[in-house]
Structure 1
């Protein structure tokens, strides 16, 4: 499989954003179940959110603390706390440690990653760094989508079709499945990997691995 990837190319540098009340180290372990032949072709960087978990984590007992969160919202998703601060924090990290070619996000990190292309295009966020070339969305949905409001900064994040190349993981048993499909349809020519699992980073079977390899081959051609 390694031989099928484009040779003599610089590995894509990807900033990885973890899920709600987890951590960069946890996402690294979750993604670590993917084949080494794939991971070897990616330059992955895992960032902890700037805010300690403000409540119990769903991964307690499965993964060790500390746990972090990117933002919080009220129960009906009409108000968001710490969103702007986290976006500024991500931008600072990208300035200091970039450039990055793309973003990979799981769950809460996927919400952010999916909103970045339009926020950058509108000049409301991440203006100090190069525009990202692609996003990988695992168990995500869109702000302003199904039963979900939106932070002010991302008010127009999905106001028109997004032309940024995107790869979407959608789980058949994921409680965000409907939202993930809605999000996918906001992108032009999205690439999709369906899997039977729930709200998780899935293992890759042969078909999904080839889909991801093909996506990587495509993004490596982006100048």
Structure 2
């Protein structure tokens, strides 16, 4: 019975940040009420490459630490990015299918945000959490939508972004963010996060994003009651919609619309059923457009 229940859970691939680990991201997410993701299967893999230098979490969380790929100081030139994408696509194909991503930040775009002549490192005092899992996740979502990767994998259904942002390379942007990404997404944006504006920009790449704001900096935030309920409602709506599909009550098309079996139905009955289904689906979109201000750390 336990195996049957596990098989029905939606699977989320959780990508950690720069020179940290899957175990560290798992600890970060443990700040949240466990009921939020209790009906999901969360997978926390380690990055492709061993950390090539000092980790910002040394002394805070035990090694080993990992990297997904490497980059220059302006975060415009990348090394081993294609290898990273290939690795993740293989991981997703062999261990999936997955229903979505959860990722934290993206690292080193902060170099562009430092005032000229300043010696201040924006990571100081912000929890030593320099990562890029959310940015990498969004890249894969955009690439799949454009048919660049994972062509045989089912479309992803959800994305949880914490302090995420876009890649800056125009050759990547012109593909990954060419069209609005039609994946249900929630974006955590901190009032004191140096990546606040880039996180806002990433949210605009998605259709009807839910934005949860918090007063903290560059971190996986602790959520107050209001934010917890908002996130729980978001996951509940997604689970409900997915369960209806699995039970055969409706069928999801590639464009996200709802197809209703209309054989042997009177025209007025078909029309009414389609209208009801559309209202139910649009309700998800309405819910996702709401924003919540987190008032507690």
TM-score, length of structure 2 as denominator length: 0.67
Residue 38 of structure 1: how far off its partner (Å): 2.1
State the SS of the aligned residue for 1:16: strand
2:211 and 2:173 mapped to 1: Cα distance?
A: 23
Task: Give the corresponding residue for 1:14.
Answer: 12
Structure 2 unaligned blocks of 5 or more: 1-6, 106-131, 246-297
1:120 Cα offset (Å): 0.4
Match of 2:153 in 1: 129
**Alpha carbons 1:119, 1:154 under 8 Å: kept:** no
| RMSD of equivalent CA atoms | 1.7
Aligned match of 1:115: 139
1:208 aligns with 2:227: yes
Q: Which has the higher helix share?
A: 2
- Give the corresponding residue for 1:83: 81
CA distance in 2 between counterparts of 1:213 and 1:37 reads 8
In structure 1, runs of 5+ residues without a counterpart are 1-8
Using structure 1 for the length normalisation, give the TM-score.
0.88
Number of equivalenced pairs: 210
The question of whether the paired residues in 1 share the 8 Å contact of 2:145 and 2:181 is answered with no
Describe how 1:38-57 pairs up with structure 2 within 5 A.
Answer: 38-57=36-55
Q: State the secondary structure of the residue aligned to 1:47.
A: coil
* Structure 1 contact 106–201 (Cα < 8 Å) conserved: yes
Q: CA deviation at 1:194?
A: 0.7
8 A contact 1:91–1:128 mirrored in 2? no
Q: Once the 2 structures are TM-superposed, how far is the Cα of residue 84 of structure 1 from its aligned partner? A: 1.2
**Which has the higher relative contact order, 1 or 2, with Cα contacts under 8 A spaced 6 or more apart?**
1
- Within a 5 Å distance, the mapping from 1:155-170 to structure 2 comes to 155-170=174-189
Higher-Rg member (1/2): 2
Please tell me whether the aligned partners of residues 124 and 153 of structure 1 are also in contact (alpha carbons under 8 angstroms).
Answer: no
